[in-house]
Structure 1
Amino acid sequence: MTARLSALILLVWALGFGWFALLLPQPLDGRTTDAIVVLTGGPGRLDRGLKLMQDGAARRMLISGVDRAVKPHELAVTYQVPDTLFACCITLGREAIDTRSNGIETAQWLERRGYDTVRLITSDWHMRRAAFELRLALPADIVLVYDAVPSQPSFSTLFMEYNKYVLRRVAALIGI
């Protein structure tokens, strides 16, 4: 009995990993949302968010997980965007230290502003866990759309991220 149960669990885990690794989330079309949230930590994420802001895809943007030493002007220079974009429309979130706290920081930021729709930008391999954490922190009436930045994740990155995703879902299921 335990051998069959173990085999079933292993089969479900392996099929889940196949789904996770082969069907990574994709970039979103150019639709508009009230806000954009970019999670720091991977290449192309800030580029994508700043381009969308310049194209008018949202009114405001939160960059979650920014180091306390980083100044808005430094980001404007690095990404070659006007300082005025940061002054008017971009918040540097400095409280988040991991994916779970990204969700909490984002939910608090959205609640203070009363936004109804948000576009989440992160790497394709990170999107499912990031979206799960954000969905846990957000009220059910907030529309969350996913805008994954394509990458070339290694097998080890996918393996680690899938296991983090599964463990986080299990932890949430049992109330941790």
Structure 2
Amino acid sequence: MIARLLGFLTLLWALGFAWFALLLPQPLDGRQTDAIVVLTGGAGRIDRGLALMQAGAARRMFISGVDRTVRPRELAARYHAPRKLFDCCITLGREAIDTRSNGIETAHWLDRRGYDTVRLITTDWHMRRAAFELRQALPENIVLVYDAVPSQPRFSVLFKEYHKYLLRRAAALIGI
């Protein structure tokens, strides 16, 4: 009986990992949302957000997890974006230090603005856990759409992220 249960749990784990690794979230089309949220930490994330802002896909953009020493003008120069875009429409979040605090920081920013729709931008392998953390912190009435930045993650990255995702889901089930 115990061997069957362990076998069943191993099968569930393996199927879950296959789903996680083979069906990574994809980029979204250019549809309009009230705001864009970019989580720092991976190549192409800020580039994607800036391109969408310049295309008029949202009114405001929030970049969560920015180092306290980084200034808007430095980001504008680094990403070859108009400085006026940073002045009017982009907010740098400096409180988040991990994915969970990205969700909390973003939820606070969104709460003060009353937006209804938000586009979350992060790397494809990070999207599920990032979206889960943000969804945990957001009110249910906010529509969250996922816009994954494609990557080619190593097996070790997928393996580690899958287990972080599972642990976070389990922790949320018991109220942590």
> Could you tell me how far 1:174 is from its partner in structure 2?
1.0
Structure 2: segments with no counterpart, 5+ residues: none
SS across alignment from 1:91: strand
**Residues matched between the structures, number:** 176
| Aligned position for 2:160 | 160
Normalised to the residue count of structure 2, the TM-score between the two structures is 0.99
Normalised to the residue count of structure 1, the TM-score between the two structures is 0.99
Amino acid at match of 1:68: R
Q: Is the aligned partner of 1:6 residue 2:2? A: no
* 1:62-118 superposed Cα distances (whole Å, 9 cap, x missing partner): 000000000000000000011110010000000000000000001000000000000
> Could you tell me how far 1:169 is from its partner in structure 2?
0.4
Amino acid at match of 1:97: I
| Aligned position for 1:102 | 102
Query: Identity across aligned pairs (percent)?
Result: 80
Q: Is the aligned partner of 1:140 residue 2:134? A: no
Structure 1: segments with no counterpart, 5+ residues: none
* CA distance in 2 between partners of 1:15 and 1:143 (Å): 29
SS across alignment from 1:30: coil
SS across alignment from 2:112: helix
The within-5 A match list for 1:67-86 is: 67-86=67-86
> Could you tell me how far 1:6 is from its partner in structure 2?
1.2
After superposing on structure 2, the runs of 4+ consecutive aligned residues of structure 1 that deviate more than 6 Å are none
Give the CA RMSD over aligned residues.
Answer: 0.5
Q: Is the aligned partner of 1:34 residue 2:34? A: yes
